[in-house]
Structure 1
Amino acid sequence: MTEEVQPVNKAAADPPPVRKKGLEEKMKRWGIPIAIIVFLILFFMPAPEGLKPDAQKSIAIFTGALVLWITTPIPIYLTSLLSILLLPLTGAVKDQEAAFGTLGFDVIWLMVSAFVLTSAIMKSNLGRRFALWMVTKFGKTPVRTLLVLVLINFILAFFVPSTTARATLMVPICLILLDIYKSIPGKGNLGKVMLLQGVQADAIATSGVMTATAGNIIAVGFINDQAGGHIGYMDWLLASMPTAIITMLITFFIGLKLFSIKGESAFEHATDTLKEELKKLGPFSLNEKKATLIFALTVILWATGDYQKGWFGFEISTEQTAVLAALLCLLPRIGLLTWKEANIKWDLMIFAAGAYAVGNALDKSKGAEWMIKKVIAGLGLEHMSHALVYVLVVFLSMYSHLIFTSKTVRVTILIPAFIALAKSLGMDPVALALASAMTLTYTITLPPHSKVNTIYFATGYFTVLDQVKYAIVTCFIGAAVISLSLFTWFKILGL
């Protein structure tokens, strides 16, 4: 068994807990009573005109769950369990299978398989070997090294379907580089820009690959189930990856302007030291060979999904491919993991199941449609052009992480709402929901906004102000590029 390589900087691997501010403490303290009060008011109030009883009950459950998901007085998966229980008990859904059956959705299986694949790539050390090889091969100058690190983040997004796992993999490599380049925290900009771009590359690359995070997978589930879409792995990749690459390239050079590295860092002997780190991994292990073959097969099957029917007379879906890959990882002798080593986040599985149950109840009861119509009337959106609504939704979705720190919670709240909005205005719900979903990985403004931010921030190479300054620019550019893509690239793709 290949021994797991420990991170160079312990702070990067075990970031200090973020101290809760006064507002967050108050939210936790008052979350449960507020959720109960809101639920009871909405559940028992006289039904407004046009709102059916099951829709009213669905809205009450969703709103109560929303308060708990935002304030987090209890873990989010417990809120989902409570919601799943309340839906059939209150009559919000007529058949309890509509609530309890969501854990069997194909998208849940895709998430399970994604966690198995993450565990395999981490155990095999394949990602670390690849990153060190890329830097020693192509990183001959500071700027080229930074570009290589960004490229590695984008490549790893295809193979490591976890933002936190990729950050855990990349930060030690960055710290090795900075030690070699004699970059000290608080002195010079090389470490600052390298780690800030690591935060952004992780997030932006994630937006380009459907399986790069559970949030993307959940969003696709909503788009296909509620908007009538048929978004698969390649559809997401073709729609989102070009915008991700363009955004990253623009913001990469803006970062070099904001944090100039001219005249910094001695590169003498850097390549030799990195080669030593690569040499410590030893020869290509059996586990690495297995991981390479499994991931190569997975990517080939995902990439050829649209052509398999014509070639073979049958098609292996995205979900089937992911389950096959997980099976190969776990099979005795063939695979490289035991079941205990597969780090499956069951709490996230349960949260997603509850989110789907409540979201689908809102959709099928027409509760979401009723709420959105009220919002449209209140804001006067029906008098705006569809183009303006598209842009407003994209920017709103982009900056929503300032309020909701969890990607999965934001997906659960926003995607069904935007689908209902599009239907109410006679717009294309698939295009609007897909464009907004592409923004939801941009959780890059403050350290507490994601675990990735915390891991990078714990290195001490950049300040909160540095991150905010760079992120505001990046988020604006990202939203602008995605908005432009809606009216150009999406049309070319037939979306």
Structure 2
Amino acid sequence: MSQPVIGKVSGDSPEKKKGKYEALMKKWGIPVALAVFLILFLMPTPQGLGVQAQRSLAVFASALVLWITTPIPIYLTSIMAILLLPLVGAVKKQSEAFATLGFDVIWLMVSAFVLTSAIIKSNLGRRFALWMVTKFGKTPKMTLFTLIVINFALAFFVPSTTARATLMVPICLILLDVYKAIPGESNFGRVMMLQGLQADALATSGIMTATAGNIIAVGFINSQAGGHIGYMQWLLASMPAAIITMVIVFFLGLKIFSIKDEFNFKNAIGTLEEELRKLGAFSPQEKKAMVIFFLTVVLWATGDYHKQWFGFAISTEQTAVLAALLCLLPKIGLLTWKEANIKWDLMIFAAGAYAVGGALDKSKGAEWIIKQLVAGLGLQNMSHFWVYVLVVFLSMYSHLIFTSKTVRVTILIPAFIALAKTLGMNPVALGLASAMTMTFTITLPPHSKVNTLYFASGYFSVLDQVKYAIVTCFVGAVVISAAIFTWFKIIGIS
């Protein structure tokens, strides 16, 4: 049997097919951004808005247009924004814009990419996934459930949604090939692939370091809302909602796409056991990766006790940098610098996002915008209950407009934090609840690389994905909304 490979899966990527709407946005993105900048920069300063805030707003809004329409790469937009902020007087000092690349959140992101590269190179993730399936996947439903558990487990030590999909899709394809499931016809194949991409997204929402978007969101919550959200605080707040949502949509998926026990699972498990045997004994690299990962998780999980144990505290960011250092150290580690797949374009984008977002926040421009929004929508007349619920649902379905998690985080989290401050609500609770929805990019194939990898397998259609995802997003929004008024209070966030 020829084994499916990830290259085959992603070779005919739906992302490469550009629609008319996307082409139109790219064509007009720069002219619209320039027009927006000039209008906001040159118009008479509105009452209640300072000159510096107006200029910050001009840079922010024009950058926002470019980030959404992407006529140029998003990191180039960030570079231009960082350059413009001091030039047009949107910030008082050049360092306020240029220094964002040194934020601790940037170091956390760099370290997460190094750790991801080490886990993938060591083959530890693939070994763990194969072991779980062969150990616990004895029936169709148990196989599906086991794959979901694997996705959630991998999220703890593979802080990249795409990396996890890269590990999981070939295993799913091997599984389905053994079961003789026909792409486009097998409901078992549909459910396996659709729940795979959903489990990837929901598991990511439960772990702060599982994607850069979560880390960026925490940066905003802690710096702008006065929060103290760390690894364990995020896990405690978000993981229960992610698990509850996944359990509910697991059974809903089996209702939407009914499956029957018609496959020879015994032979399938035998094939996967052979794949596991081919990996042989644990390699030195896998052992190193396990030790580094275990140390990292222990330090993250015991952050509240460091002061008592060591006399000093090791922050989430310091732990991540330590893990990256151990991965890269000669003889001790398992990576060279060239092998560390660090997304520097994302680093630059994040730096620019923090620069324009920070400028807008410090100049009170964001506060002014939210006041206008509150007055325009009548949110000041709504109860806090409905504002919380409305924000969660808006955040959940906002990925239908934005194709980038990081752009959504940059736009929405600061805005909702400012909204909470304006309405006298808890900005940490509202910001965190909104951030928990940001990874639910599951409705259409182009909404994430994970979607594309699973979709390219051919086992489900766009309509299949839309149908299942709309239900999943609704369930997720309801669960998160309920958590705000129940679980958040119990753990002391709201």
Q: Work out whether the TM-score is over 0.5.
A: yes
Matched, 1:69 2:63: no
Instruction: Measure the CA separation in 2 of the matches of 1:455 and 1:199.
Output: 9
The 8 Å contact of residues 29 and 69 in structure 2, kept in 1 or not, is answered as: yes
Instruction: Measure the CA separation in 2 of the matches of 1:15 and 1:117.
Output: 29
Matched, 1:8 2:21: no
Equivalent in 261, 268, 275 of residue 277 of structure 1: 275
Instruction: Measure the CA separation in 1 of the matches of 2:6 and 2:98.
Output: 44
Displacement of 1:181: 1.2
Q: Which residue of 1 aligns with 2:239?
A: 241
The 8 Å contact of residues 9 and 459 in structure 1, kept in 2 or not, is answered as: no
- Equivalent runs, 1:15-414 vs 2, <5 Å: 15-16=12-13, 17-414=15-412
Displacement of 1:9: 5.1
Equivalent position amino acid for 1:338 in 2: T
The 8 Å contact of residues 188 and 264 in structure 1, kept in 2 or not, is answered as: no
1:99-128 CA-to-partner distances (Å, cap 9, x unmatched) read: 000000000000000000110011000000
Displacement of 1:13: 4.1
Displacement of 1:279: 1.1
Displacement of 1:281: 1.1
More moved, 24-33 vs 269-278? 269-278
The 8 Å contact of residues 135 and 148 in structure 1, kept in 2 or not, is answered as: yes
Equivalent in 445, 450, 454 of residue 447 of structure 1: 445
The 8 Å contact of residues 12 and 168 in structure 1, kept in 2 or not, is answered as: no
Equivalent position amino acid for 2:130 in 1: L
Instruction: Measure the CA separation in 1 of the matches of 2:70 and 2:419.
Output: 27
Instruction: Measure the CA separation in 2 of the matches of 1:263 and 1:204.
Output: 27
Structure 1 residue matching 2:438: 3-state secondary structure: coil
Displacement of 1:184: 1.2
1:371-395 CA-to-partner distances (Å, cap 9, x unmatched) read: 0000000000000000100000000
The 8 Å contact of residues 15 and 454 in structure 1, kept in 2 or not, is answered as: no
Structure 2 residue matching 1:269: 3-state secondary structure: helix
Structure 2 residue matching 1:301: 3-state secondary structure: helix
Matched, 1:435 2:415: no
Displacement of 1:225: 0.5
Matched, 1:461 2:441: no
Identity of aligned residues (%): 78
Displacement of 1:269: 1.4
Instruction: Measure the CA separation in 2 of the matches of 1:254 and 1:70.
Output: 33
Q: 1:15 to 1:125 in 2, by over 3 A?
A: farther
The 8 Å contact of residues 178 and 191 in structure 1, kept in 2 or not, is answered as: yes
More moved, 188-197 vs 255-264? 255-264
1:196-249 CA-to-partner distances (Å, cap 9, x unmatched) read: 000100000000000000000000000001111110000000000000000000
Instruction: Measure the CA separation in 1 of the matches of 2:408 and 2:333.
Output: 35
The 8 Å contact of residues 431 and 486 in structure 1, kept in 2 or not, is answered as: yes
Displacement of 1:18: 2.9
Instruction: Measure the CA separation in 1 of the matches of 2:252 and 2:191.
Output: 10
The 8 Å contact of residues 225 and 427 in structure 2, kept in 1 or not, is answered as: yes
Instruction: Measure the CA separation in 2 of the matches of 1:11 and 1:33.
Output: 39
Equivalent position amino acid for 2:192 in 1: M
Equivalent in 417, 420, 429 of residue 419 of structure 1: 417
Displacement of 1:15: 4.3
Q: Which residue of 1 aligns with 2:479?
A: 481
Instruction: Measure the CA separation in 2 of the matches of 1:271 and 1:407.
Output: 36
Instruction: Measure the CA separation in 2 of the matches of 1:324 and 1:12.
Output: 35
1:72-98 CA-to-partner distances (Å, cap 9, x unmatched) read: 000000000000000000110001111
Structure 2 residue matching 1:307: 3-state secondary structure: helix
Q: 1:291 to 1:13 in 2, by over 3 A?
A: farther
Instruction: Measure the CA separation in 2 of the matches of 1:107 and 1:15.
Output: 35
Q: 1:7 to 1:295 in 2, by over 3 A?
A: farther
Displacement of 1:14: 3.5
Q: 1:37 to 1:76 in 2, by over 3 A?
A: same
What TM-score do you get using the length of structure 1 for normalisation?
0.98
More moved, 239-248 vs 270-279? 270-279
Structure 2 residue matching 1:92: 3-state secondary structure: coil
The 8 Å contact of residues 193 and 259 in structure 1, kept in 2 or not, is answered as: yes
The 8 Å contact of residues 141 and 267 in structure 1, kept in 2 or not, is answered as: yes
Instruction: Measure the CA separation in 1 of the matches of 2:262 and 2:5.
Output: 22
Number of matched pairs: 490
Structure 1 residue matching 2:304: 3-state secondary structure: coil
Equivalent position amino acid for 1:12 in 2: V
The 8 Å contact of residues 132 and 278 in structure 1, kept in 2 or not, is answered as: yes
Structure 1 residue matching 2:265: 3-state secondary structure: coil
More moved, 183-192 vs 144-153? 183-192
Equivalent position amino acid for 1:10 in 2: G
Displacement of 1:308: 1.2
The 8 Å contact of residues 221 and 431 in structure 2, kept in 1 or not, is answered as: yes
**Aligned Cα root-mean-square deviation (Å):** 0.9
Structure 2 residue matching 1:460: 3-state secondary structure: coil
Instruction: Measure the CA separation in 2 of the matches of 1:74 and 1:258.
Output: 40
The 8 Å contact of residues 208 and 237 in structure 1, kept in 2 or not, is answered as: yes
Displacement of 1:473: 0.3
Instruction: Measure the CA separation in 2 of the matches of 1:15 and 1:115.
Output: 26
What TM-score do you get using the length of structure 2 for normalisation?
0.98
